[in-house]
Amino acid sequence: MQKTSKLYALVHGKCPHCRRGDIFTGSLYGFNVQRTNTVCPNCTQRFEIEPGYFYAAMYVSYAMNCAEMITLGIATYILSGGYLEFDSFWLYLGVIFTGCLLLSPFNYRYSRVILLHWLSPKIKYNAYYDKP
């Protein structure tokens, strides 16, 4: 079995300790409710390191949301031909609000994944789980 890369584990929402078990139950845009597993189903690494740990994920989500809103605003400006009048306020508001609404499940999931993988010094990768 080959070593699982950190990028693969980030994109697919895998455990930062073993890079095999899923952090979330269900799919990103499925009809089931997204729920964070308490422990990794593969290596039993606890995801919520301390009580209230995932409150810090809202700061990561806020940064992601700001970047998405700026990108959507610039894209709307470019695609509308640089139209900036008072009437276009509702166009920008509608596009940005709809984009934020559609990307909220993505932000919820990946803010927690980023918090676990990059901002958690207590969780270290263990290559033992890559062995057959």
Total structural domains within the chain: 1
CA distances from 35 to 43, 45, 59, 61, 87 (A): 18, 16, 19, 16, 41
Q: Is residue 40, in this structure, part of any structural domain at all?
A: yes
- The one-letter amino acid code at 66 reads C
Tokens of 40: 């990794």
Determine, yes or no, domain membership for 29: yes
Say if 32 falls within a structural domain.
Answer: yes
Structural domain of 30: 6-130
- Note the pLDDT of residue 70: 96
Determine, yes or no, domain membership for 98.
yes
Question: Is residue 20 assigned to a domain?
Answer: yes
Q: How does pLDDT run along the chain (132 residues), one tens digit per residue?
A: 467 788 888 888 888 888 888 888 877 777 666 788 888 888 888 888 778 888 888 999 999 999 999 999 999 988 887 766 656 788 889 999 999 999 998 998 899 898 888 877 667 666 666 555
The answer to whether position 50 is within a domain reads yes
The 3-class SS string of 43-54 reads CCCECCCCCCHH
Is residue 107 in some structural domain?
yes
Torsion sign across C-alpha atoms 28, 34, 40, 46: positive
**Residue 1 domain flag:** no
The answer, as to whether pTM is greater than 0.75, is yes
Tell me, what's the pLDDT at 107?
A: 92
The stretches of 19-88 forming alpha helices (DSSP H) are 57-79
- Which tokens sit at 66? 């700001």
Helix or strand run (H / E) with residue 29: none
